[in-house]
Amino acid sequence: MNFDILKTVVKRNETSKIVLLVMDGLGGLPEPAAGSKTSLEAARTPNLDALAARSLCGLHQPVAPGITPGSGPAHLGLFGYDPLTYQVGRGVLSALGIDFDLQPGDVAARGNFATVDGTGRVKDRRAGRILTEKGAELCALLREQVTLSGAQFFIQPVKEYRFLFVLRGDGLHAKINETDPLEVGERPLKAKAQSPAAEETAALVRSFVEQTAAVLADREPANMVLLRGFSQLPRWPSMQEVFGLKAVAIAMYPMYRGVAKLVGMEALPASQSVGEEFERLAQCWAEYDFFFVHIKRTDSAGEDGDFDRKVAVIEEVDTFVPRILELKPDVLVVTGDHSTPARMRSHSWHPVPVLLWSDVCRPDRVTQFGERACLARGLGVRFPVSDLMPLALAHAGRLEKFGA
């Protein structure tokens, strides 16, 4: 959607409320052991099914046909920002997500503590999902024992095996390849500059990784680090500026707080449970117009290949749908940012189920919220995800007529 057009038709004084409930990695693939159903289709979801029967449903395409999205672009699309136009690395999102004071010119990367074997090949990209407390301990150790010449560095724990790595100094550039090979059995990659201007920054990264490997050598399972998403802080129009929305993010994981802050949302402190997220939604209802509620554990279960656990998370979320409706939103959108089939143990390119409920929507024939039920329904199949926000705004009465 063209932001220039939206700015001319957005009602700035409207008070209607929109809820965007995102079950991360919601989409899946049929499992023979589950009667050839996906996790969403196998889950008992009486509340979502009843809502779907009164909604517009379909399957959205996060980026483009056949393209598997990362979490950053997938969420930017949900927020109405074309992910092919608005691109940012994971490092910036991680920094904003933990409220790190990222400065213009800083280079940030998301790090994983990982496990490598005696030959230096990756055994586990997530070091057995070590506890956050262990990650914090390792970050403190690296701050004490690693030194860099030519730039200041910061290393901060994020959650579990994840950490934030930031370089600060003059003339830094973020065009550096990732050191995470993304595959078990491969060796970590060496940081290399992707432009001449980034050569010195890449050398700093290599020094950090080499020193870190020596410090962690006897600390299995977390005996190596992998770095992804080297990036610098962009300047983008906010949701208030484009959509006229005062928006808030309610999420457990820092990365999703970060991507929300990047587009001007306020981010509440990280929640500790699904129930707490919905409590916070009710508590802040009077203060905002747009509520982004993020559920991470659907995606975690998919990445772990745990079909049944993904089913259980979806069923838990379903029990909270009546609480959302009790708040009387003008629009409720339920979807995922991308698909994470348990069979694949990773993000995938498959389109994502979505429902949009409003008192003024035109319901289609869907009676069960699931991948196959959403095929060729009111919202269509593979419609661009960045079209979802203008549709939510329209159903919330927040758009004027365009033209004479």
Residue type, 36: S
Instruction: Tell me how crowded residue 349 is: count the other CB atoms within 10 A of its CB.
Output: 16
- pLDDT at position 89, please? 86
- pLDDT at position 385, please? 95
- pLDDT at position 220, please? 85
Q: How far apart are CA 57 and CA 355, in angstroms?
A: 4
Element (H, E) at 95: helix 90-97
- pLDDT at position 1, please? 66
Chain centroid, CA 17 distance in Å: 22
Contact 175, 195 (CB under 8 A): yes
- pLDDT at position 310, please? 98
pTM to 2 decimals? 0.83
Q: How far apart are the first and last CA of the chain?
A: 20
- pLDDT at position 366, please? 94
- pLDDT at position 378, please? 85
- pLDDT at position 192, please? 96
- pLDDT at position 88, please? 87
Q: Which domains does the chain have, with CATH numbers?
A: 3-87+236-395 (3.40.720.10), 94-231 (3.30.70)
Six-digit token pair at 285? Answer: 């209802």
- pLDDT at position 158, please? 92
Spell out, as residue ranges, where the chain has pLDDT lower than 50.
Answer: none
Alpha-carbon distance values, 86 to 4, 189, 237, 242, 351 (Å): 15, 27, 10, 14, 20
Helix ranges (DSSP H) in 146-253: 199-216, 239-243
Helices (H) and strands (E) in the chain, counts: 14, 13
Nearest to 90 by CA among 179, 209, 202: 179
Q: Which residues contact 210 (CB under 8 A, 6 or more apart)?
A: none
Nearest to 82 by CA among 397, 393, 385: 385
